[in-house]
Structure 1
Amino acid sequence: MLVKSFLQRATTRLPSLAATARMNGLRATAVRYNSYNAYVAGLTDEQNEFRLAVQRFVNEELAPRAQDIDRENAFPMDMWKKFGDMGLLGITVSPEYGGLGLGYLDHTIAMEEISRASGSVALSYGAHSNLCVNQISRNGNDAQKKKYLPK
């Protein structure tokens, strides 16, 4: 009974805390202050540099707009051009086809940092980069790869 009571109190507070944070504009700054430990996570220096670059990018470009994107149920098409310019749309794609030629951990690092700024944009990004681009890269024929991949 005590555990059930605690869980009910704890879970009823969660939405109000999140709503308060959004109303106070904390969402746009939440990405800046995290306690991510690259050493504990087992990241190489290059992976940590990649993580920090993506984090800086989403802090500047996405986090300040995230609340408006969600409120308006908008799809920020301009972000896809910016993701592409940064190389994020083809992380697991071979450089031969315009990708970065990195692995799934690198994709996960980008996904995590984008998610910190906007869960909704990250969901669309994940669908595009992993369910679409990655599958064409892995399973498409040469003509499909030339037509659809980032290059």
Structure 2
Amino acid sequence: MRRSRPPAPAVRMVGGFTLLEAIVALVVFSMGAFALYGWLSTNTIALQRIRDRQQVEVAMHSALDLIRRSNPMETPAGQRQLGDLTVTWNSEPVEPPKPGVDQSGTPDVFMVGLYDVQVRVTRGGDQLHAFHVRQVGWRQVREVGDL
């Protein structure tokens, strides 16, 4: 008589993920996605701050150019529009006007004075920037041939 062998255990084939593995994979992916979202959000906020600061810098340089072209002795206070910007200034003398002299020390045709100019830049009623600058004012007091 032949002995029979016991039946071999059935080989179980695993084909796919279990529910627990899928949940763990989703949790790991979600943690990475949240970290990435936080990083992107921080970068977006920083980029917006940089853009806002650039707009303020452009507005300030435009206002400074306008003030540098003005004469505080003739127009000590005023307001001008630069596109959508409003530039307002007010000047106060630091030194009283004095007769100007050239490099050789001879009298010039101008009276000159030093002014402290307070400048305010607004857009739509909101103040973008305020600063002050020292500016020379001048006034012609005689003709070139009168020296």
- TM more than 0.5: no
Shorter-chain TM-score range: under 0.3
Answer with 1 or 2: which has the greater Rg. 2
Higher relative contact order (CA 8 A, sep 6+): 1
TM-score by length of structure 1 reads: 0.23
Q: Which has the higher strand share?
A: 2
- TM-score using structure 2 length: 0.23
